[in-house]
Amino acid sequence: MIYDPKYENKLRESGLRPTKQRIKICEVLFNSTETFHFTIKDLVKIIENQANIKVSLATVYNTVHAFNKKGYLKEIPINSSQSYYDTNISHHHHFFDEDENKLIDIDQNDVDEVMIKKTIPGKKIKSIEVIAKIVTDN
């Protein structure tokens, strides 16, 4: 089997071997020009729809976790029973539509850079996320 070297690199750099299940996950996550937000359940559904190949839940979790740890995916902090991930790893922020339970990107340009004056001794800031909850206006 010939692997798209882009995916092979992403996988190896994430500490994973390029297997056909993982290549399939990569195709779903990284093939499109548009980035998107997803839950594990969403991802499994997409794979099943496109699927000639079966991927177990355990493999999906394991692969998404490795990509998240490596920084090829970003987990978005949301109050939900499910984790939400983003294939857009550039610095940006989010609306969370509470009616639809959907994330919407806010460009970095659409928010002034968040400057935090307070510091915690011995700690460094790893990430800053802005989450704006939105609801139907009426």
Partner DNA sequence: AAATACATTAAAATCATTCTAATCTGTTGA
Partner DNA sequence: TCAACAGATTAGAATGATTTTAATGTATTT
Q: CB of residue 69 vs DNA: minimum separation in angstroms?
A: 11
Token match 């857009």: residue?
88
Which of Zn ion, Mn ion, a copy of itself, none does residue 27 bind (CB under 5 to 8 Å by kind)? none
Q: Interface with a copy of itself includes 43 (CB under 8 A)?
A: no
Q: CB of residue 81 vs Mn ion: minimum separation in angstroms?
A: 8
DSSP string computed for 50-87:
T-SS---HHHHHHHHHHHHHHTSSEEEP-SSSS-EEES
Smaller CB separation from DNA, 11 or 93: 11
Element (H, E) at 29: helix 20-30
φ, ψ for residue 102, nearest 5 deg: -130, 140
Which of Zn ion, Mn ion, DNA, none does residue 19 bind (CB under 5 to 8 Å by kind)? DNA
Give the other-Cβ count within 10 Å of 7's Cβ.
19
Q: Interface with a copy of itself includes 115 (CB under 8 A)?
A: yes
- Chain residues binding a copy of itself by CB under 8 A are 75-79, 83, 93, 95-98, 104, 106-107, 109-112, 114-118, 120, 122-137
